[in-house]
Amino acid sequence: MKTVLISSEVTPYSRTGMLGDSVAGLAKGLRQNGVDTYVISPMYLTVCAKEEQFSHECTVSVNSCGTEYPFEVYSVITVEIHMIFLRNDELFGRRNIYGSGEFDYSDNDIRFGMFCLAALEYIRQSGINPDIIHCHEWATGLVPVYRNLFYEDIKSRMVFTAHDISYQGIFGKFSIQSMGLPWDVYNVEELEYYEGISLLKGGMVHSDYITVPSPTYSEDIKTEEYSQGMGLLMANMAHKLEGILGGIDY
């Protein structure tokens, strides 16, 4: 089996909290169980500082609203895991991952939207042909959406993990246009969320399977009390939702 994990963070290269640790631990666990594992993540400024550790593979380019976004692809193999980093200094050559201080970067929709698109373009061009593409958190929410719209030749099953449903990737509705999406997806069944859009919602709706960090959490988020406004949506997707208790790397 072959799987590609797509995440905005992966320890030790980038980390703001448990997301990076979880993705790195999952990749290690999968490899130890015989799964051919790739991890795709952005190449932030802190990762660029270690550029000499990586091999330059190729360049992939994606386009949105007439603007071309080239990404240089760098790779390194650690403990038999293929680490793939996508570098676009205009979008990711910044001191922080999501924003400075209390404020997120105003173009996070474009930054992570184009990262999602570039990840799919790399998967297509590289010929990896994974059995599973596993996306993590709101920043990768457009991977399943773009795949279903523009990359139907990629036949992988799509798994989405919401590590914390309170981080929903909410943007104004006109981000639909700036991220190169058709207005058809702006509806209550897909990306629309209280007159804006939610990348988390889009990722979950367009995925084949959803996981969260524990069985208890999977039940809690089906209620309005613990779901940050997504209780009805989660209840409607109960058939493809599972809580898997996180492990510990001793």
Token pair 């386009």 is at which residue? 63
Backbone angles phi, psi at 6, to 5 degrees: -120, 125
Two tokens at 47?
A: 């990762």
- What whole-number distance in Å separates Cα of residue 78 and Cα of residue 76? 6
236 occurs within a structural domain: yes
Look at residue 250 and tell me if it is in a domain. Answer: no
Q: Answer whether residue 120 is part of any domain.
A: yes
For 127-143, how does the pLDDT look when each residue is reduced to its tens digit (9 = 90+)?
Answer: 999 999 999 999 999 99
For 153-166, how does the pLDDT look when each residue is reduced to its tens digit (9 = 90+)? 999 999 999 999 99
- For residue 51, pLDDT beyond 80: no
Confidence of residue 44 (pLDDT cuts 50, 70, 90): very high
Share the mean pLDDT of the chain. 94
**pLDDT per position as a tens digit, 175-207:** 999 999 999 999 999 999 999 999 999 999 999
Q: What are the structure tokens assigned to 61, written together?
A: 């380019």
pLDDT value for 70: 98
| Total domain count, the chain | 1
pLDDT of 34 strictly over 90:
yes
In a domain, 249, yes or no: no
Q: Categorize the per-residue pLDDT at 17 as very low, low, confident or very high, splitting at 50, 70 and 90.
A: confident
76-130: per-residue pLDDT in tens? 999 889 999 999 999 999 989 999 878 999 999 999 999 999 999 999 999 999 9
Confidence at 53, pLDDT banded by 50, 70, 90: confident
Burial string for 151-178 (b: 16+ CB within 10 Å, else e) reads beebebebbbbbbbbebbbbbeeebbeb
Give the model's confidence band at 209: pLDDT under 50 very low, under 70 low, under 90 confident, else very high. Answer: very high
Helix (H, G, I), strand (E, B) or coil at 242: strand
Q: What is the DSSP string of 56-70?
A: EEEEEEEEETTEEEE
In the structure, what pLDDT confidence band is assigned to residue 228 with cuts at 50, 70 and 90?
A: confident
CATH number of residue 164's parent domain: 3.40.50.2000
Average pLDDT over residues 29-43: 96
User: Would you state the pLDDT for residue 13?
Assistant: 94
Question: Tell me, what's the pLDDT at 111?
Answer: 97
- For residue 161, give the H/E element and its range: strand 157-161
Does residue 188 sit within a domain? Answer: yes
Residue 248 falls within a domain, yes or no?
A: no
Share of the chain above pLDDT 70, in %: 100
How large is the greatest C-alpha to C-alpha distance in the chain, in angstroms?
Answer: 49
Q: Which residue range(s) make up the domain with 225?
A: 2-243
Q: What pLDDT shows up at residue 149?
A: 97
